[in-house]
Chain A
Amino acid sequence: MSPLRIVEEARRKGIHMIAVTDHNACDNVVYAKRIGDRMGVKVLPGMELQTEEEVHLLAYFEALEVALSFREVVYQYLPDVKNNPDYFGDQVVVDEEENVVGFEEKLLLNSLSLSLDQCVQMVRDFGGLPIPAHVDRGSFGVIGQLGFIPDRLAFEAVEVSRATSLAEALKTWPELSQYTLLSFSDAHFPGDIGAVCTAFYMESPTFDEVVRCIRGEGERRVRIEYLVPLRSRES
């Protein structure tokens, strides 16, 4: 799944805006963003952090440079364990022409030595938007790991995986109604890109407008759209 392949797939499916959120990493966003700028697909820089409680937290940033400096800080909290490509595959960085331009040596699937609370604070300190990922999932979701979403973290939005409809999620966890609910494809293969989308009714495809949509400012709002209907996906 190279940056070029990702952006091409998004464009083919008519998706105007994507976020690339590698696990505890950010290097591929550099190239995805260049390709996106060329092809007219807006690429939001981000990361998926794995906290010490094994909670997955999405972090989005307005500017690539900010995301990269955030990554530098977070990297220090990634345990110094080397990746073994025989088990986990190579952790590659791929450029616009699909050349492998780098390998990440540290094992990215580890947890950071940072608590969820610390991660949320750090993302906000960098002006970013923290969103707990796939809260409906038993593993790596905040509810599964921590029993419930701590109020004090004051999330504005949470993400529900494409395995669960919003109606089902709200029935199981009524407390989710206090958040703006988003759903993203969490695509690990090109074919999964856009399997579920969140439509942002915004003035322009910018980070700032995404935040304003989540807050429901003015006429702005979000709506979940399934390119592949939930039911038919099961068969």
Chain B
Amino acid sequence: MRLKDIIEGLGLKVLAQGDVDREVNWAYTSDLLSDVMAGAQPGDLWLTIQKHMNIVAVAKLKDLTGIVLAKGIRPSEEVVAKAEKEGIPLLISEYPLFEVCGRLYELLKEEG
């Protein structure tokens, strides 16, 4: 499923653009960046409540398709600018993390 279909399906707000046509393989959820570095796979979409600047670097390093911040959490303008510059899609969901995960799981499963 392409990222733009997920953005539409989950009603995500786009803070920073990137390659929204990219195929999302699967997703990874964690707020510990060391854990994301160890566990996320290239092509994963990352769901988190972590909004520190380092999220952009970690997403870039792991070649993730984007970052979804749950619970309506807004990062600083600096983080948005960095994501924009690095071409990492930065998205916001108003739902709590558990619910975003559930909804995305349904979407990705339907896709088969």
Contacting residues, chain B, for A138 (C-beta < 8 A): 34
A205 within 8 A of B: no
A147 with B53: CB separation less than 8 A: no
Partner of B36, one of A53, A117, A143, A147: A147
B52 with A115: CB separation less than 8 A: yes
Query: How many A residues touch the partner, as a band?
Result: 10 to 19
A145 with B53: CB separation less than 8 A: no
B54 with A148: CB separation less than 8 A: yes
Contacting residues, chain A, for B37 (C-beta < 8 A): 147
B53 with A143: CB separation less than 8 A: no
B34 with A53: CB separation less than 8 A: no
CB distance from B10 to the nearest CB of A (A): 25
B32 within 8 A of A: yes
Contacting residues, chain B, for A53 (C-beta < 8 A): 50, 52
Q: CB-defined interface of B54-67 with A at 8 Å, one 1/0 digit per residue? A: 10011000000000
Q: How far is the CA of A36 from the CA of B54 in the complex (A)?
A: 40
Which B residues lie at the A interface, using CB under 8 A? 32-34, 36-37, 50, 52-54, 57-58, 76
- 27 chain-A/chain-B pairs, Cβ below 8 angstroms: A53-B52, A115-B52, A115-B76, A116-B52, A117-B53, A138-B34, A143-B34, A144-B32, A144-B34, A145-B32, A145-B33, A145-B34, A146-B33, A146-B52, A146-B54, A147-B34, A147-B36, A147-B37, A147-B54, A147-B57, A147-B58, A148-B33, A148-B54, A148-B57, A150-B53, A150-B54, A152-B53
